[in-house]
Amino acid sequence: MRAGALADRETIYYLNTNFVNLWVLNLDLKRHRDAKGIDGVSPLERVIIGGWNKDSPVDFQVISSELKLLGSIPLNDFLDENANNEVHGYRKFLKHSLTETPPES
């Protein structure tokens, strides 16, 4: 993925302009949830957990500033669907996720 969509200058510019990038290890989040219970985790953690895709090692998620899950896709599904053009597929996923509440430019 890094050599594909995330290496594209237009995609990088779009991300930097419209998003805050966040990496969360699902294993750490699961441990935190298991230790504190779902009511003991932060609202952001609840949204991320709610958007997990079963059996997916990695998910792409788009979350609004109001903590609403706008889009989520498992990495393996994304790669299968966009094998020929990750750059176009990733931008399409981002833009589709934002159709309800696009970021202000």
Q: What is the dihedral of CA 22, 4, 87, 10, to 10 degrees?
A: 70
- Report residue 47's pLDDT band, with 50, 70 and 90 as the boundaries: very high
Mean pLDDT of the chain: 82
Residues 6+ apart with CB under 8 A from 44: 63, 67
3: confidence class by pLDDT, cuts 50, 70, 90? low
Residues 83 and 102: their CA atoms lie apart, in Å, by 26
Rounded distance between C-alpha atoms, residue 59 and residue 73, angstroms:
6
